[in-house]
Structure 1
Amino acid sequence: MRFQLTALLACLLLMPGLPHAGEKATYGLNEQVWLPELSQAVTAKLDTGAQTASLSARDIKRFKRDGQNWVRFYLAIDDKKTHPIERPLARISKIKRRSGDYDPEEDKTYTARPVIKLDVCMGKRLRSIEVNLTDRSAFQYPLLIGSDALSLFGALVDPSIKYAAGKPDCATDANPAE
């Protein structure tokens, strides 16, 4: 009996620290983010209905470097195309096409997109997420953050607010949690 009481008291003493381990952060429908590897600030749309994250890119070219698959692209917000970006290719993603984007003569119900790993700072949290590259210039936000990445951020999304996290403020020497 004494052991059970001691164990119960020990558990109660440790409980106040438990909420911090899985602490959630509230974000709005849109957030300012910092992409430290690209030295670029962008506005992102947080979309819990999308699984993956997408970054607006143009002139996407796959190539080999030292036997590894890489991709070269320009951010779609870089109209002058002055800064080509080269990143290792993480994988190729198959994104389901929407009904208006489906061509029955092509007989493909998906679009293949290159995926890269990218560090993203949102609020005070820095995470390394996978983003697929596609031209999002027709959309208002160059970065869409889907549920996979939102989970890494421990995000609670309140669509009634915008920019809840404030200006991105991640320590430059922080390690991106995965």
Structure 2
Amino acid sequence: MRLKPFSLCLCLLSLSFPGLALGKSIYGLNEYIHIEELDVLVAAKLDTGAKTASLSARDIKRFKRNGETWVRFVLAVDDSHEHTVERPLSRISKIKRRAGDFDPEEGKTYTARPVIDLELCMGQTLRTIEVNLTDRSAFQYPLLIGSEALKDFEAMVDPSLKYAAGKPGCTNDATPGE
């Protein structure tokens, strides 16, 4: 079988750029994310070493509504976006504590965090992502996107880039997950 020059070039190109071959998008270490339901734009850190996504929140309280567990929290993104949010609770996540965060008297090696589902737009891609809630006010970025969410976004992260996807541009009629 003889390959035509165009086919050969296409094969070599896909080997040179695995992101193209896999249909993945390349994002930078930091990206802008639009949280659709809250209509908030935040800068996020993309962290392949973290498993889950985390959003900065405080005053986190669980409550019941129509027999279901919900969570109420104050979005702690910046001073202009401090407002109370209520969302259904998806689950409770157990996050491994770092050595400096471990209290031997308490005896827990993990922290339990509430998890909610949020529609996030990064670049032109809209996905429903599980996000755990925790106070991230000590961190530079109020939103951390971990490896599970990066898989959902079909993302490749190039740490030499920042804001490679530009401002989020998902349309209102975009279908999550497609």
Which segments of 5 or more consecutive residues in structure 1 lack a partner in the other structure?
1-11
Deviation (angstroms), 1:74: 1.0
Q: Where does residue 43 of structure 2 map in the other structure?
A: 43
1:106 aligned residue: 106
Question: Structure 2: how far apart are the matches of 1:97 and 1:76?
Answer: 22
Q: Which residue of 2 aligns with 1:4?
A: none
Calculate the aligned-residue CA RMSD, in Å: 2.1
Larger Rg: 1
| Structure-2 separation of matches of 1:114 and 1:79 | 23
Alpha-carbon distance, 1:101 to partner: 0.2
Q: Counterpart in 2 of 1:145? A: 145
Cα deviation, 1:102-156, whole Å, max 9, x if unaligned, reads 0001000000000000000000000000000000000000000000000010100
The corresponding residue for 1:88 is 88
Q: Once superposed, which parts of structure 1, at least 4 consecutive aligned residues long, lie more than 3 Å away?
A: 19-22, 78-82
Structure 1 CA distance for aligned equivalents of residues 73 and 79 of structure 2: 12
1:52–1:145 CA contact under 8 A, matched in 2: yes
1:1-178 equivalences in 2 (<5 Å): 22-79=22-79, 83-177=83-177
- 3-state SS of paired residue (2:149): helix
5+ long unaligned stretches in structure 2: 1-6, 12-18
Task: State, as a whole percentage, how many aligned pairs show the same letter.
Answer: 70
Q: Give the alignment's TM-score, normalised by structure 1.
A: 0.86
| TM-score, scaled relative to structure 2 | 0.86
Give the whole-Å Cα distance in 2 for the aligned partners of 1:52 and 1:27. 17
